[in-house]
């Protein structure tokens, strides 16, 4: 009984506070508009008002969640206890919501200009939140909705737990997969060379036709994702494999982009180098930048390294836009008319470009994979795990850390060149600290050192925000919340890295290899 | 006359005002099992760290087969043929058992990152050879079947053995063991003693170890060095050390030696 009430109380307080927070930043309106869009239930033409049912739906949803969360972890329980817990949670959050709505409503009706303090609190929006009625009536509606749907949510969750529907479903799914894997020996199948070839071909065909089919908008979004996958793979070598927290990764991205831009754009230098050579040059220059940064500082560990590299990233951006280098980099204006890739004079269409990006992503994945499973990759992971012991085991840690940084920088240089040529522009404001943080988040959210994790992370963190345009104002909020939730729920990342499984090499294998070497 | 694997002269290491190791000489003959003992805080591990390159000693020189190794970084020392284990086990926890061994083999492999990307036959040959050696080593230390377990999931005893296996993977001439039997029950300890002996006898590896378990020390050591407050107070074969007055006093306090003499005499009288 005590735990039921306690859970209800805490869930109610949390939901109430979350509601007030969302209200203050204006998310309730955005959320209900999104629900409306989803249901095709948009603006009411006759009255010019937004339909109120979207808002009610949103409230109902919050109430249900509240009820479910109030019962989380309680399992099988008496039905009246469950309902009581739900009711308590609903009432508490309802009272908090009641106060918030009543207060904002009354103040705004008295003529206080709330939007002076909080931009999202303009009278029209508040009017909508009050269902175009009096504060008291609106507040009562909130209270009733929260209470009723919280009870409903609790009841639902009780039903599910008492019948064990959810657990049963989960269990059967799980055992099904396990059985299927067991009988078919699924991992064995994928070791077969021919099966892998067929899988590879199918993937290649899909990847070839997708950019043709889904149009230029999608090509643009997926292009961004692809560039960030390459960036993520590069940073993953530095952070994920060798465990060096480098926060100024954007510096290499910027160097790559600017090298490419300056070598191909008509102004300010008019070199007009062949594009493929320019890509190579970007990678080389980025790598050299990596060397420049790495040689003096890679003896630092942990926090110190993070701060020094953070500064390096910012210095690069400030240098690019400084008066000092305006003659070289065009300063804050940036470099325009950067060369586009072409094939014997024919400029790439967005489809060709996407194909190029996909090819490069695959190559980058291949290289990252091969590195990971090699002597070099093992040395990196050893350094990440325990640098002192790694060195005492005979690894030249300094050299390996520099190697990781150089390879990471080369990846970033490639990504920078692609970025500049796709946008046909390179300006200093494209290379802010946010880029470093974004890439780092891709690595962390995806799963440190995990290649599929990074692809997934790039989709989640760069692809989804582009698709959810309505949420643009809240991108940082969602980003922060996602990181916090990830760190609590799944600190190892969405798709954690798996160590490669080794088998003892058979004698035949050894003989074959020995003869091959002799040749 | 056997050669000296390690010849350390007048090693001194200070931490601030504390002299942790004070003018210590140490000679480790080839194919021997030498032990360093002493009460807590006597400077045993500090001496170990000086030899393996974790610390640079302020004074003195350390020769490994006649070559000075004083100020070399630890990876160079490891390449020359010294490897060690740690008092509190330090494995690469996230890596699997076999990967830990492969990291241990690092110094004996040559493949660089470009060959790793290309996977040329020479690279693949080296990889599978190193893998074969790793599996043999795992069998030798009795960890077969656990190859793909993450090292941190191993039970304590297995972690100890894996750490020794990792040290052996670099094919060292000198293996330094820091309290190899710490936290083991008598049976496990006996197994470890037999294992260490086998390392010397069949693998011809010289062993230098720190140990607190006197039964172990007296059982396997060819030579014992006793430290107390950073000073070397005794050196010799187990029998000599057992009857050494200063050693008894260092362990049991002043006056203990006289007491033990009395006890012995009484025992002799009764007999």
DSSP B27: E
- Which of A94-98, A191-195, A348-352, A438-442 comes out lowest in average pLDDT? A191-195
CA dist A2 → A5, A65, A93, A160, A162 (Å): 5, 21, 19, 22, 20
- B-chain CB neighbours of A370 within 8 Å are 116-117, 119
Please name the member of B104, B117, B147 whose beta carbon is closest to the beta carbon of A371.
B117
Residue A389 lies in a domain: yes
Q: HEC string of A174-214?
A: HHHHHHHHHHHCHHHHHHCHHHHHHHHHHHHHHHHHHHHHC
Answer whether A517 sits within 8 Å of B122, measured CB to CB: yes
Average pLDDT score over residue span A318-340: 85
Please tell me whether residues A366 and A220 are part of one structural domain: yes
In terms of Cα–Cα distance, which of A20, A24, A147 is closest to A96?
A: A20
A42 has pLDDT over 80: no
B131 CB neighbours in chain A (<8 A) are: 502, 504-505
Tell me which chain A residues have a C-beta less than 8 angstroms from the C-beta of B93.
Answer: 385
- B69 within 8 A of B80, measured Cβ to Cβ: yes
Q: What are phi and psi of A70, to 5 degrees?
A: -65, -20
State how far the Cα of B45 lies from the Cα of A131, in Å rounded to an integer. 75
Contact at CB, B116 and A375, closer than 8 angstroms: yes
Give the Cα separation of A104 and A132 in Å (integer).
13
Task: Kindly state the average pLDDT of the residues A18-35.
Answer: 84
Q: What is the pLDDT of residue A43?
A: 61
In a shared domain, residues A260 and A213: yes
A250 and A170 assigned to the same domain: no
Q: Looking at residue A313, what is its pLDDT?
A: 92
Contact between A381 and B92 using a beta-carbon 8 Å cutoff: yes
Which residue is closest to A377 within chain B, CA to CA?
A: B113
Which of B92, B125, B147 is opposite residue A385, by nearest beta carbon? Answer: B92
Q: Are A412 and A310 in the same domain?
A: yes
Give the whole-angstrom CA distance, residue A415 versus residue A410.
Answer: 9
Omega of the bond leading into A268 within 30 degrees of 0 (cis) = yes
Structure-token match 């104002």, residue found: A473
Distance from CA of B83 to the nearest CA of A (A): 7
User: What is the pLDDT, as a whole number, of residue A25?
Assistant: 83
Tens digit of each residue's pLDDT (9 = 90 or more) over A371-396: 998 999 999 999 999 999 999 999 99
Q: Which residues of B touch A390 (CB under 8 A)?
A: 92, 103
Q: Is B66 exposed, middle or buried (0-12, 13-18, 19+ CB in 10 A)?
A: exposed
Q: Which of A384, A391, A517 sits opposite B125 (nearest CB)?
A: A517
- Predicted local confidence at residue A41, as pLDDT: 65
Give the whole-number percent of chain A exceeding pLDDT 70: 91
**Could you tell me if A242 and A365 lie in one domain?**
yes
DSSP letters of B133-167?
HHHHHHHHTT-TT-TTSBGGGS-HHHHHHHHHHHH
| A67 within domain boundaries | yes
Q: Which residues touch A80 (CB under 8 Å, ≥6 apart)?
A: none
Q: Which residues of chain B does A513 touch, with a Cβ-Cβ cutoff of 8 Å?
A: 121, 124-125, 128
Q: How far is A369 from chain B (nearest CA, A)?
A: 9
d(CA A34, CA A18): 18
Note the pLDDT of residue A26.
82
Q: Are A232 and A445 in contact (CB under 8 A)?
A: no
In contact, A356 and A276? CB cutoff 8 Å: no
Please provide residue B10's backbone torsions phi and psi, each rounded to the nearest 5 degrees: 50, 50
Euclidean distance between the first and the last CA atom of chain B, given in angstroms as a whole number = 42
Which of A419, A435, A464 is a domain's end point?
Answer: A464
Handedness of CA B77, B83, B87, B92 (dihedral sign): positive
Length of chain B in residues, anyone? 271
Q: Are residues A102 and A207 in the same domain?
A: no
Candidates A462, A468, A460; CA nearest to A494 is: A460
Q: For residue A265, what pLDDT is reported? A: 86
- Chain A residues with CB-CB distance to B53 below 8 A: 392
Distance CA B20, CA B71 (A): 18
Q: How far apart are CA A150 and CA A157, in angstroms?
A: 10
| Residue B20 φ then ψ, to 5° | -75, -35
Interface of A with B (CB under 8 A): 367, 370-371, 373-379, 381-382, 384-386, 388-397, 403, 407, 499, 501-502, 504-505, 509-510, 513-514, 516-517, 519
DSSP H or E segment with residue A364 = helix A350-372
Q: How far apart are CA A249 and CA A237, in angstroms?
A: 12
Contact A378 B96 (CB under 8 A): no
pLDDT of residue A189: 60
Do A418 and A341 touch, CB atoms closer than 8 A? no
Domain membership flag for residue A119: yes
Instruction: Give chain A's mean pLDDT.
Output: 85
∠ CA A442-A412-A238, rounded to 5° = 60
pLDDT higher than 90, residue A82:
no
Splitting chain B (271 residues) into consecutive groups of 10 residues, what average pLDDT does each group show? 86 91 93 93 92 91 92 93 93 94 93 88 89 93 90 92 95 94 90 93 93 91 93 92 87 78 82 71
Q: How far is A329 from chain B (nearest CA, A)?
A: 34
- Locus of tokens 């140990």: B211
Phi (first) and psi of residue B83, to 5 degrees: -135, 165
A92-151 pLDDT, tens digit per residue, is 999 999 999 988 888 888 877 777 887 777 788 888 888 888 888 888 989 999 999 999
Closest residue to B112, CB basis, from A373, A376, A381: A376
Inter-chain touch B124–A374, beta carbons under 8 Å: no
CA A303 from centre of chain: 23
Query: Which residue spans within A403-500 are E strands per DSSP?
Result: 425-426
Domain boundary among A178, A209, A238: A178
Cβ-based neighbours of B23, under 8 Å, separated by 6 or more: B10, B11, B12, B59, B60, B231, B232
Q: What angle do CA A454, A455, A459 make, to 5 degrees?
A: 110
Establish if A78 belongs to a structural domain: yes
Which one, of A362, A420, A429, lies nearest residue A226 by Cα? A362
Distances (CA, A) of B82 to B75, B88, B112, B208: 10, 19, 23, 10
Asked if A392 lies within 8 A of B74 by C-beta distance, the reply is yes
Average pLDDT over residues A261-275: 83
Report residue A33 as tokens: 């508009």
Contact B111 A375 (CB under 8 A): yes
Out of A397, A407, A499, the one facing B95 most closely (by C-beta) is A499
What pLDDT sits at residue A334? 87
Tell me the per-residue pLDDT of A196-220, one tens digit each, with 9 for 90 and over: 888 888 988 888 888 888 888 888 8
The whole-angstrom distance between B48's CA and the closest CA on chain A is 13
Residue A248 confidence (pLDDT) above 60: yes
Residue B83 and residue B169: Cα distance in Å, rounded? 9
Domain that holds residue A69: 2-178
Interface test with B, best of A240, A394, A399, A496 (most B CBs within 10 A): A394
- Cβ contact B90–A389 (<8 Å): yes
Q: A76 pLDDT band (50/70/90 cuts)?
A: low
| Chain A residues within 8 A of B166 when measuring between CB atoms | 393
CB atoms within 10 A of CB B195: 15
Domain identity same for A350 and A405: yes
Instruction: Summarize chain A as % helix, strand, coil (round to 5).
Output: 75, 0, 20
First-to-last alpha carbon distance for chain A, in angstroms, is 78
Tell me if A516 and B121 make a contact (CB, 8 A cut-off).
yes
Q: Which residue has the higher pLDDT, B60 or A268?
A: B60
Are residues A391 and A266 located together in one domain of the fold? Answer: yes
pLDDT score for B1? 54
pLDDT of residue A31: 81
CATH number at residue A277: 1.10.3470
DSSP-H helix ranges across chain B: 44-52, 74-80, 97-104, 113-118, 121-140, 156-169, 186-203, 214-220, 238-242, 245-252, 256-270
- Among chain B residues, the shortest Cα distance to A507 is held by B132
In a domain, A339, yes or no: yes
What pLDDT is stored for residue A155 in this prediction?
86
The count of structural domains within chain A is 2
Q: How high is the pLDDT of residue A420?
A: 93
Buried-state track B122-151, b at ≥16 Cβ within 10 A, e below 16: ebbbbbbbbbbbbbebbebbebeebbebbb
**Which residues of chain A lie closer than 8 angstroms to B122, CB-CB?**
517
State the DSSP code for B96. Answer: B
CB A247 within 8 A of CB A313: yes
Cβ distance B103 to A517 less than 8 Å, yes or no, reads no
pLDDT at residue number A314: 92
Which residues in chain A are closer than 8 Å to B138, comparing Cβ atoms?
Answer: none
Q: What is the pLDDT, as a whole number, of residue B131? A: 92
Domain contains A313: yes
Residues of B in contact with A395 (CB under 8 A): 75, 103, 106
3-class DSSP state for residue A447? Answer: coil
Both tokens assigned to A80: 């009246």
Q: Which of A388, A392, A517 faces B78 most closely, judged by CB atoms?
A: A392
List CB contacts (< 8 A) between A509 and chain B. Answer: 128
Of the pLDDT bands very low, low, confident and very high (cuts 50, 70, 90), residue A460 is: confident
- Taking contacts as CB-CB distances below 8 angstroms, the residues of chain A near B173 are none
> Taking CB atoms and an 8 Å limit, are B125 and A516 in contact across chains?
yes
Answer yes or no: do A219 and A114 share one domain.
no
What is the structure's pLDDT at A180? Answer: 59
Q: State the Cα–Cα distance between residues A332 and B86, nearest whole angstrom.
A: 55
Q: How confident is the model at residue A243 (pLDDT cuts 50, 70, 90)?
A: very high
Which chain B residue shows the shortest CA-CA distance from A364?
B117
Indicate whether A504 belongs to any domain: no
- Tokens standing for A251? 């510096």
Option in B83, B107, B150 nearest A499 (CB): B150
**Per-residue buried b or exposed e for B14-46, using 16+ beta carbons within 10 Å of the residue's own CB:** eeeeebbbbebebbbbeebbbbbbbeeebbbbb
**Do A51 and A88 belong to one domain?**
yes
Q: Are residues A120 and A243 in the same domain?
A: no
Whether residues A125 and A233 fall in one domain: no
H/E run at residue B209: strand B206-210
For residue A328, tell me if it sits in a domain: yes
Asked whether the beta carbons of residue B117 and residue A501 sit closer than 8 angstroms, the reply is no
pLDDT-based confidence at A454, cuts 50/70/90? very high
What is the mean pLDDT of the segment spanning A88-95?
91
Residue B185 CA, distance from chain mean position: 20
Q: Do the Cβ atoms of B98 and A502 come within 8 Å?
A: yes
State whether residue B236 is helix, strand or coil.
Answer: strand
* Residue for token pair 């004083």: B70
Nearest CB partner across the interface for B116, out of A371, A381, A519? A371
**pLDDT of the residue at B69:** 93
Decide if A505 and B125 are in contact by the 8 Å CB cutoff. Answer: no
């Amino acid at each position: 009984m005590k735990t039921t009430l306690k859970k209800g109380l805490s869930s109610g307080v949390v939901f109430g506070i979350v509601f007030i927070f969302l209200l203050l930043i204006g998310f309730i309106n955005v959320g209900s508009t999104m629900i409306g869009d989803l249901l095709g239930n948009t603006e009411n033409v006759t009255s010019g008002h937004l339909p109120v049912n979207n808002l009610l739906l949103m409230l109902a949803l919050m109430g249900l969640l509240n009820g479910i969360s109030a019962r989380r972890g309680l399992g099988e329980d008496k039905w009246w206890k469950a309902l009581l817990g739900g009711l308590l949670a609903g009432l508490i959050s309802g009272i908090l919501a009641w106060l918030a709505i009543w207060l904002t409503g009354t103040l705004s009706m008295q003529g206080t200009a709330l939007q002076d303090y909080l931009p999202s609190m303009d009278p029209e929006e508040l009017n909508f939140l009050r269902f175009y009625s009096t504060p008291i009536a609106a507040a009562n509606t909130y209270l009733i909705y929260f209470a009723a749907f919280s009870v409903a949510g609790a009841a639902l969750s009780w039903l599910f737990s008492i019948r064990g529907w959810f657990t049963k479903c989960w269990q059967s799914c799980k055992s099904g997969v396990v059985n299927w894997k067991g009988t078919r020996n699924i991992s064995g199948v994928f070791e077969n060379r021919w099966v892998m070839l067929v899988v590879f071909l199918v993937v290649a065909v899909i990847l070839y036709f997708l950019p043709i089919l889904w149009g230029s908008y999608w090509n643009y979004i997926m292009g961004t994702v692809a560039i960030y996958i390459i960036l993520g793979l590069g940073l993953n070598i530095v952070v994920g494999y060798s465990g060096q927290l480098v926060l100024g990764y954007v510096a290499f991205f910027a160097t790559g982009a600017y090298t490419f831009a300056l070598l191909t754009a008509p102004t300010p230098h008019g070199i007009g180098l062949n594009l493929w050579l320019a890509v190579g040059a970007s990678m080389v220059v980025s790598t050299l930048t990596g060397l420049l940064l790495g040689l003096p500082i890679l003896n630092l560990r942990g926090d110190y390294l993070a701060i020094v590299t953070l500064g390096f990233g910012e210095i690069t951006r400030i240098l690019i836009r400084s008066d000092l280098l305006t003659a070289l980099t065009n300063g804050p204006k940036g470099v325009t008319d950067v060369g586009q890739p072409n094939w014997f004079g024919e400029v790439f269409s967005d489809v060709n470009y996407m194909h190029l990006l996909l090819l490069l992503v695959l190559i980058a994945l291949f290289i990252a994979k091969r590195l990971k499973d090699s002597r070099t990759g093992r040395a990196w992971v050893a350094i990440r795990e325990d640098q002192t012991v790694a060195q005492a085991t005979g690894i030249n840690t300094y050299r390996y850390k520099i190697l990781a940084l150089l390879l990471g920088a080369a990846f970033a240089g490639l990504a920078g060149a692609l970025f500049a040529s796709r946008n046909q522009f390179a300006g200093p404001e494209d290379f802010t600290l946010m880029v470093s943080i974004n890439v780092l988040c891709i690595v962390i959210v995806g799963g440190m050192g995990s290649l599929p994790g990074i692809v997934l992370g790039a989709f989640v963190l760069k692809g989804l925000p582009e698709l959810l345009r309505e949420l643009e104002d809240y991108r940082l909020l969602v980003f922060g919340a996602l990181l916090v939730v990830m760190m609590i729920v799944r600190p190892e990342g969405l798709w954690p890295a798996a160590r490669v499984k080794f088998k003892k090499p058979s004698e035949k294998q050894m003989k074959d290899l020995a003869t091959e070497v002799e040749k | 006359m056997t050669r000296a694997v390690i010849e350390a002269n007048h090693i001194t290491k200070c931490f601030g005002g504390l002299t942790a190791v004070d003018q210590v000489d140490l000679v480790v003959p080839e194919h021997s099992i030498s032990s360093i003992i002493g009460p807590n805080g006597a400077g045993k591990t500090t001496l170990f760290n000086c030899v393996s390159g974790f610390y640079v000693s302020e004074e003195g020189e350390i020769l490994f087969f006649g070559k000075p190794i004083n100020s070399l970084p630890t990876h160079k020392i490891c390449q020359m043929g010294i490897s060690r284990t740690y008092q509190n086990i330090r494995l690469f926890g996230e890596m699997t058992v076999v990967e830990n061994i492969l990291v241990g083999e690092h110094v004996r492999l040559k493949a660089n990152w470009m060959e790793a990307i290309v996977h040329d036959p020479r690279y693949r040959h080296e990889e599978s050879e190193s893998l074969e050696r790793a599996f043999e080593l795992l069998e030798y230390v009795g960890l077969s079947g656990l190859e793909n377990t993450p090292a941190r999931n191993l039970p304590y005893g297995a972690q100890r053995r894996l750490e020794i296996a990792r040290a052996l993977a670099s094919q060292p001439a000198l293996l330094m063991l820091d309290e190899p039997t710490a936290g083991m029950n008598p049976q496990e300890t006996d197994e470890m003693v037999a294992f260490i002996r086998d390392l010397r006898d069949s693998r011809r590896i010289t062993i230098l170890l720190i140990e607190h378990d006197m039964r172990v020390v007296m059982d396997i050591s060819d030579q014992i060095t006793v430290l107390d407050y950073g000073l070397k107070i005794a050196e010799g074969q187990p029998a000599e050390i057992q009857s050494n007055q200063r050693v008894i006093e260092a362990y049991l306090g002043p006056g203990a030696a006289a007491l033990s003499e009395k006890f012995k005499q009484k025992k002799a009288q009764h007999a």
